Amino acid sequence: MSLERTDIEKLALLARINISDSESQQVTERIGAVLNLVDQLQAQDTEGVEPMAHPMDATQILRADEVTESNDRENLMSNAPATEEGLFLVPKVIE
């Protein structure tokens, strides 16, 4: 499966990662190479096989609806690039 540059541009947008024009060609080729590798899967018959998400088919464990976390805001925000009064600052979202 080979991809066009426009496919790469769409993926980059979905992934929220800029790919510069100069990188775009190599990215397209290298991703294409990996997709050629994974195309080998198409030849395998998987009729009736249940997909496996977890190696032991475990399911989500639930717990009682009790408050167990404490408020550790200052510590947890200590790596934030920009904050104000306990809020994370980002470029304006709503005009």
Site for other proteins in 13-32 (CB under 8 A): 14-20, 27, 30-31
Among 22, 40, 70, 71, binds other proteins (CB under 8 A): 40
Task: Kindly state the smallest distance separating residue 25's Cβ from other proteins, in Å.
Answer: 13
Contacts of 31 (CB under 8 A, 6+ apart): 3, 8
Spatial neighbors of 38 by CB under 8 A, at least 6 apart, are 1
- Does position 86 bind other proteins by CB under 8 A? no
| Given 6, 22, 60, 70, the residue binding other proteins (CB under 8 A) | 60
CA terminus-to-terminus distance, the chain: 41
